[in-house]
């Protein structure tokens, strides 16, 4: 094993107050450790243990002075651009001599598209792979939502890539908070397009407060439209396909092959309506288990109101 291959993997998640989501993160770390010949540790930047500070301290205690940090986020928005680099900057200050290579967000990626395809297929049930069944089905891909238009645009890109060549009648986009269309609006668009079977597909890694809201919104809409067959697919979850992607991002970080989407980043480019974001200072989030003070947002996963715009992603952009 060469020197680069011995660099440990640090997986950095956002955090959730949902116990099942925390457990899924822990199982995923165990899966990664079981397949990688390097040390693996992981932690959250807020909301739940294990904290990032503990994960970094664990690797430092094992003698590591250089890490490969992979952000366990699906889109390049505030968490990947500012919050996680800010939290890592704090760890560098705590551990003099420590350095790290930073990976890019997980999506969009063909592996993720394949996983989403399988989750939609499972929601459709037996024989769902048939061309006719897919052609008569609209998929509503539901993302977290952000005040960063770049991040929201990535969800729309994933939806389009999921539609192309896979036989679905349509793939529309919605968000659970902070960006429109919201879930009921996305479902209504699918209905107005003439579809009577709709698969609501959460674009989330693990269970949590926000995926639960997606399901609740879908069930509420379905109750008001009994003529529709509305089904809710599962989240991506702990699986080998997701582990494959994290390993790929780890290798990219060590090789220096990092391609961030700078062309449409509001922290670098004066996009209409977001000019005030250019050069905005980086502000790290504080974890409750951290010596610094805690913080909170409006909903259970730290993203402001669930039904309208909130205050997110106003942080600096680090490459």
The arithmetic mean of pLDDT across residues 293-299, rounded, is 42
Q: 264 and 84 in contact (C-beta within 8 Å)?
A: no
Quote the mean pLDDT of the chain. Answer: 85
The arithmetic mean of pLDDT across residues 288-294, rounded, is 51
| DSSP three-state, residue 101 | strand
- Confidence band for 246, pLDDT divided at 50, 70 and 90: very high
DSSP string over 252-277 = HHHHT-----GGG-TTTS--TT-GGG
- Confidence band for 260, pLDDT divided at 50, 70 and 90: low
Residue 314 pLDDT exceeds 70: no
Residue 11 pLDDT exceeds 60: yes
| DSSP three-state, residue 46 | coil
- Confidence band for 264, pLDDT divided at 50, 70 and 90: low
| Residues ≥6 apart with Cβ < 8 Å to 168 | 120, 134, 135, 137, 138, 139, 162
- pLDDT tens for residues 43-68? 999 888 999 999 999 999 999 999 99
Which range, of 35-44, 102-111, 187-196, 226-235, averages the lowest pLDDT? 102-111
For a pLDDT cut of 90, what percent of the chain falls above it?
67
Q: 317 and 81 in contact (C-beta within 8 Å)?
A: yes
List residues bridging with 197 in a β-sheet: 137, 229
Q: 111 and 251 in contact (C-beta within 8 Å)?
A: no
- Confidence band for 280, pLDDT divided at 50, 70 and 90: confident
b (16+ CB within 10 A) / e for 114-145: ebbbbbbbebbeeeeeeeebbeebbbbbbbbb
- pLDDT tens for residues 166-225? 999 999 999 999 999 999 999 999 999 999 999 999 999 999 999 999 999 999 999 999
């Amino acid at each position: 094993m060469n020197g680069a291959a011995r660099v440990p993997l640090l997986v950095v998640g956002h955090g959730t107050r949902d116990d099942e989501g925390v457990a899924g993160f822990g199982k995923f770390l165990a899966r990664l450790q079981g397949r990688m010949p390097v040390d693996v540790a992981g932690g959250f930047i807020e909301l739940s243990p294990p904290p990032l500070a503990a994960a970094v301290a664990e690797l430092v205690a094992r003698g590591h002075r250089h890490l490969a940090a992979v952000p366990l986020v699906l889109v390049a928005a505030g968490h990947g651009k500012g919050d996680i680099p800010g939290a890592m900057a704090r760890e560098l200050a705590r551990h003099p001599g420590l350095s790290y290579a930073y990976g890019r967000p997980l999506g969009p990626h063909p592996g993720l598209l394949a996983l989403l395809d399988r989750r939609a297929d499972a929601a459709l049930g037996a024989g769902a792979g048939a061309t006719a069944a897919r052609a008569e089905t609209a998929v509503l891909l539901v993302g977290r939502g952000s005040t960063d238009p770049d991040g929201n645009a990535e969800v729309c890109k994933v939806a389009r890539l999921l539609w192309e060549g896979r036989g679905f009648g349509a793939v529309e986009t919605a968000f659970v908070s902070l960006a429109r269309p919201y879930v009921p609006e996305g479902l209504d668009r699918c209905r107005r397009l003439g579809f009577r079977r709709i698969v609501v597909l959460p674009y989330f890694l693990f269970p949590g407060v926000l995926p639960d809201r997606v399901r609740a919104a879908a069930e509420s809409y379905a109750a008001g439209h009994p003529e529709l067959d509305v089904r809710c697919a599962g989240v991506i979850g702990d699986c080998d396909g997701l582990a494959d992607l994290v390993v790929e991002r780890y290798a990219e970080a060590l090789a220096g092959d990092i391609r961030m989407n700078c062309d449409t980043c509001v922290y670098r480019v004066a996009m209409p309506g977001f000019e005030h974001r250019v050069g905005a200072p980086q502000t790290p989030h504080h974890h409750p288990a951290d010596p610094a003070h805690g913080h909170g947002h409006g909903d259970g996963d730290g993203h402001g109101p669930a039904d309208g715009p909130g205050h997110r992603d106003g942080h600096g952009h680090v490459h």
